[in-house]
Amino acid sequence: MRFVWAVVAFVLAAVMIGAGLAQRTIFQGPKTETTQLQVEQDAPFTMIDGAVLNRLPGSQTLRAQSDGTIFVSYGRTADLQAWLSDTPYNEISLDSAGLPVATLVEPEVEAVEETPADAEAGAATEAPAEGETDAAAEDAGAAVRSPVGSDLWLDEFQEDDLLIAPLQLPDTMSVLVASDGAEPAPAQLSVSWPIQNSTPWAGPLIVLGGIVMLVGAFLYFLGIRNARRSRGPRRKGLPMPVTEPIDLAVEGADKGVITAGKPTRRGIAGRKAFVALPIIAITGLLVSGCSAESWPTFGPSPTPSPTQTVIAPEDQQDPAITATQAERIITRISETMADADSTMDAALAATRMGGAALAERTTNYKLRAAIADYALPSSVPTKPLEIVLPQATNEWPRVVMAVATDADDKTASIMYLTQEDPWSAYKLTYLAALEAATEMPNLAPDYIGATRVAPDSPFLLMAPDQIAAAYADILDKGEESEFYADFEAEGDQFRTIVSEDRARRIQEFNATGATTGSLAFGSTPGTETPIALATVESGAIVAVNLNETDTVKPVSAEAVIKLTNNATVRTLTGVEQSATGFTSTFGDQLFFYVPAQGSTEKIRLLGYSSSILDAQVIK
């Protein structure tokens, strides 16, 4: 009976193991579903809409194939459409049946109403002769825009011949596919999604089959042992001759035959292990090939831990960039400015810097070219970014505020970045050092963003376009200024530095030139437009540009102002002395926190920077 049960166990084990293996092999369906994206017409760019990427659930894998270099990037759909707005491109979207279809999108040409004067001018203009080409048209056609390195992309990829990009994008983002911006974009495109084809009972079936096989092997062993012990009834045979004692003194073949005894326990245990070992080994090999998809999942599904909820206004748009984008953009700016600073290349600096920051940098390059030991400008810190506050908008220009800490001296800097249009790079327009122990106001997280405050906004304690003039008045008049009570004096180190520096220079000047000349100071608003982003409490962080001037004049017709010990002014003016005097201008970049209208707080200085901007001979 034991043999019967052993055979049953072996058969059952084979069925269970075979069923488990079949689930992972011949009965398992495809792991991915692929959709080919057909593009009929040639265009330098192809945009795959986010709806196509999210046509099926799960992460997406984009596959593009071409003979040359393939470029793929992704970003917000609105950003891609703005970047492509002036060039023809193929847009792959879903039709009414939910299937992907490609459409050639031509750039929109704004119609301009023609006046009679324009008509007359057009009639007077001769058409180009036959065979000639319009130079302007040739120039416009020759312009090729490369998509590589745009600040709009969240990420980008480049490969030759074949590009496979694993993605996990929401339907608000799209993908851009191109070659080099001139040649047609790759036409062989496909998107794949994973298919849920887990086999949770494959692993248990294989394991249980192995256990049943061990049971069958054990029953088989018991059957063999029982058969050997009970050999059954024996027929009575002929009488056996009487066994004579064996004479141990006999040598060789006459010594007799010694019969073998019963097998020892050690031999039985060895055979048992010999039978069980292959079964365990085979089961282990089968189980080791089973992934997590081969086992059932027990217990409740994990739920994310709750986090603090930040609610954006209903009419607020998406943030212009992400924190990852900001980190990459600031790194690019820092690397470009490091190259420009080392070579004193103002044209290179202008590709990544603008406004008051570029004006001060340009002056620094001019001075360093003439003065050997003139100090380098402060570098642009990159990591870590303590704060990223992008403007929430789909329009241009765009603004981003960031606070970064220098890894070497641990000083923090606050900056404003500006992007003028979809095709321009972000430029650093304001850069200042944060005051020690600066307490920043409550700001929205980077994934929410902030609205930009208009320069003449009446909802703040003081409009952003009035901050520079009010603070300049305080620098010149101190407590006598009408705006003194609106600004927080405690902790304002810049105000203290300016006051002490002016007092020191007046004292030094009066010690040698009080009888021959005069020294006067003044502050005026700069020419740069203030930038302001809203805070959570409806206040704003405002960046303004301020100019401080030092004017030195002779007091008599016979006196002259010499620049013997002032190499900076001598370099900027190009003269050694003047009978009319000199005016030196220092550019200040200042960041303020401006509370909302009706707040009990005062306007507070957050950070500042100051450097020589210009020097001129008084006319």
Does residue 130 belong to any structural domain of this protein?
no
Does residue 189 belong to any structural domain of this protein?
yes
At which residue do the structure tokens 């080994």 appear? 281
pLDDT of residue 209 exceeding 50 = yes
Question: In the chain, how many H helices and how many E strands?
Answer: 13, 19
Q: Is residue 77 located within the same domain as residue 204?
A: no
Q: Residue 445 — very low, low, confident or very high, per pLDDT cuts 50/70/90?
A: very high
Does residue 313 belong to any structural domain of this protein?
no
Do the Cβ atoms of 521 and 550 come closer than 8 Å? Answer: yes
pLDDT of residue 112 exceeding 50 = no
Does residue 424 belong to any structural domain of this protein?
yes
- In the chain, the N- to C-terminal Cα span, in Å, equals 123
Do the Cβ atoms of 151 and 49 come closer than 8 Å? Answer: no
The pLDDT value recorded for residue 299 is 52
Q: Which domain holds residue 375?
A: 323-617
Does residue 117 belong to any structural domain of this protein?
no
pLDDT of residue 454 exceeding 80 = yes
Q: Is residue 566 located within the same domain as residue 418?
A: yes
Q: Mind listing the pLDDT tens digit for each residue in 258-301? A: 444 554 544 444 444 444 445 554 555 444 555 555 555 555 55
The pLDDT value recorded for residue 314 is 66
Q: Is residue 420 located within the same domain as residue 526?
A: yes
What rounded mean pLDDT belongs to the chain? 83
More confident residue, 99 or 241: 99
Q: What is the CATH number of the domain that holds 80?
A: 2.60.120
Least confident of 305-309, 381-385, 430-434, 566-570: 305-309
More confident residue, 167 or 113: 167
The pLDDT value recorded for residue 612 is 95
- List C-alpha distances in Å: 330 to 430, 528, 598: 13, 21, 36
Q: Is residue 382 located within the same domain as residue 417?
A: yes
- List C-alpha distances in Å: 456 to 463, 546, 552, 598: 5, 18, 35, 17
Does residue 307 belong to any structural domain of this protein?
no
Q: Mind listing the pLDDT tens digit for each residue in 306-352? A: 545 555 566 778 999 999 999 999 999 999 999 999 999 999 999 99
Q: Is residue 44 located within the same domain as residue 71?
A: yes
pLDDT of residue 460 exceeding 60 = yes
Q: Is residue 414 located within the same domain as residue 471?
A: yes
The pLDDT value recorded for residue 503 is 94
Q: Is residue 356 located within the same domain as residue 404?
A: yes
Give the integer Cα–Cα distance in Å for 312 and 476.
Answer: 41
For 357-418, give the DSSP string: HHHHHHHHHHHHHH-TTPPPPPP---S-EEEEEEBB-SSSSEEEEEEEE-TTT--EEEEEEE
Does residue 10 belong to any structural domain of this protein?
yes
Least confident of 9-23, 127-141, 226-240, 327-341: 127-141
User: For residue 83, what are its two tokens?
Assistant: 């970047």
Give the integer Cα–Cα distance in Å for 50 and 72.
Answer: 14
Q: Which runs of E-coded beta strand occur in 427-484?
A: 427-434
Q: Is residue 479 located within the same domain as residue 603?
A: yes
Q: Is residue 22 located within the same domain as residue 78?
A: no
Least confident of 61-70, 276-285, 539-548, 568-577: 276-285
Q: Is residue 376 located within the same domain as residue 496?
A: yes
Q: Is residue 172 located within the same domain as residue 79?
A: yes
Q: Residue 217 — very low, low, confident or very high, per pLDDT cuts 50/70/90?
A: confident
pLDDT of residue 592 exceeding 80 = yes
Q: Mind listing the pLDDT tens digit for each residue in 532-554? A: 999 999 999 999 999 999 999 99
At which residue do the structure tokens 């070992």 appear? 277
The pLDDT value recorded for residue 257 is 47
Q: How many CB atoms lie within 10 A of CB 547?
A: 20
Give the integer Cα–Cα distance in Å for 606 and 437.
Answer: 10
Q: Is residue 335 located within the same domain as residue 403?
A: yes
Q: Residue 135 — very low, low, confident or very high, per pLDDT cuts 50/70/90?
A: very low
Does residue 115 belong to any structural domain of this protein?
no
Q: 3-class SS at 196?
A: coil
Q: Which runs of E-coded beta strand occur in 38-172?
A: 45-48, 60-76, 89-94, 100-105, 155-167
Total structural domains within the chain: 3
pLDDT of residue 83 exceeding 80 = yes
Do the Cβ atoms of 16 and 216 come closer than 8 Å? Answer: no
Pairing type for strands 188-194 and 60-76 reads antiparallel
The pLDDT value recorded for residue 414 is 96
Q: How many CA atoms lie within 13 A of 193 on its CB side?
A: 13
Q: Residue 176 — very low, low, confident or very high, per pLDDT cuts 50/70/90?
A: very high
